[in-house]
Chain A
């Protein structure tokens, strides 16, 4: 006479499946958290077509007053610029920050060294074909030989208004006394 032993193996298989799926999900979540930091994002840059140039300037070496007329000859509005100068003809990169020497009442310093066209509250106020005059009093600074202008714009990135420097549209202008 045989007594059939009831098999209890069915419970272990279900637990095995549950554990397998659980571990797979947990490992997937861990790998996702780690890998999502490696997803490349688009570089911050100004749109192609941003352009500014110095229509003319005047520099009185005795009074050290520099007046620059900027013109937006691009397709997009410009918010402001960084300005640096060189102190010798051999200097390749301009590193003397002139932003603190700006005497325009309508211009505002933004960040630590940027000059904003127009008043706070109006981003990118220099429209295409607009001309903006900027004045600098360079008393107390060394003699300058050239200036480097780097335009900046306020752009919306991920629902935030951030300052973007247009590194591909930098301009250099040699400065001579009147």
Chain B
């Protein structure tokens, strides 16, 4: 009677199956992780997108001067100003365009004004969009809040 050697094949098949499953799972995991945005958090563990909803600032434009105050509790690291004119729009960042913007941002109770932003005269309206800074796995990162939800419109 010939001795059957088929006893080894199921074990090898099982090991191969487990190995293939683990490899496929790893590939899928790495692929999905590459597609999702890295979470930026603020105040420990709160997603910065949620923190945008807590930002409370006031702004006005009178006498060719832009005024911004932050009576809220969320520091505003930067501010994008979207200038909308006749069939055109442009965006400036107050951190780079204004010498008066505080280096560490507009803190609680802080105030800003600048009368040298001549670009604003090119528009009919401006939208102020706050920029926050938070922590991510790769270090500190800035996040621009959603314009439609958190932008502040001023008609010039």
Q: Which residues of A contact B (CB under 8 A)?
A: 5, 8-9, 11-12, 15, 19, 23, 30, 34, 36-41, 43-45, 82, 84, 88, 90-97, 111-114, 148, 150, 152, 163-165, 167, 170
Main secondary structure of the interface of B (DSSP, over half): mixed
Q: Count A-B contacts at CB 8 Å.
A: 101
Q: How far is the CA of A170 from the CA of B108 in the complex (A)?
A: 13
Counting CB contacts under 8 A, is B27 at the interface? no
Identify the closest chain A residue to B39 (Cβ).
A37
The reply to whether A38 and B109 contact each other, CB–CB distance below 8 Å, is: no
Residues of B within 8 Å of A8, CB to CB, are: 7, 10-11
Counting CB contacts under 8 A, is B153 at the interface? no
Q: How far is the CA of A33 from the CA of B127 in the complex (A)?
A: 34
The reply to whether B71 and A150 contact each other, CB–CB distance below 8 Å, is: yes
Identify 5 new A-B residue pairs, CB closer than 8 A, beyond the known A19-B21, A34-B39, A97-B111. A19-B18, A41-B46, A111-B109, A150-B109, A165-B72
Residues of A within 8 Å of B45, CB to CB, are: 36-37
Residues of A within 8 Å of B7, CB to CB, are: 8
The reply to whether A88 and B109 contact each other, CB–CB distance below 8 Å, is: no
Counting CB contacts under 8 A, is B91 at the interface? no
Residues of A within 8 Å of B23, CB to CB, are: none
Q: How far is the CA of A84 from the CA of B60 in the complex (A)?
A: 15
**Distance between A132 CB and nearest chain B CB, rounded to angstroms:** 18
Contact pick for B14, options A12, A23, A38, A112, CB 8 Å: A12
Q: Which residues of B contact A (CB under 8 A)?
A: 4, 6-7, 10-11, 13-14, 17-18, 21, 25, 29, 36, 39, 41, 45-47, 49-50, 54, 56, 58-60, 62-63, 65, 67-69, 71-73, 107-113
Once A92-B60, A165-B108, A170-B71 are accepted as A-B contacts, the answer to whether A11 and B14 lie under 8 Å apart by CB is: yes
Residues of A within 8 Å of B50, CB to CB, are: 37-38, 40-41
Main secondary structure of the interface of A (DSSP, over half): mixed
- Which one of B6, B25, B36, B111 has the highest number of Cβ atoms from chain A below 10 Å of its Cβ? B111
Once A23-B25, A150-B109 are accepted as A-B contacts, the answer to whether A164 and B47 lie under 8 Å apart by CB is: no
The reply to whether B113 and A167 contact each other, CB–CB distance below 8 Å, is: no
- Which one of B10, B58, B67, B69 has the highest number of Cβ atoms from chain A below 10 Å of its Cβ? B69
Contact pick for A84, options B56, B108, B111, CB 8 Å: B111
Q: How far is the CA of A9 from the CA of B25 in the complex (A)?
A: 23
The reply to whether A37 and B41 contact each other, CB–CB distance below 8 Å, is: yes
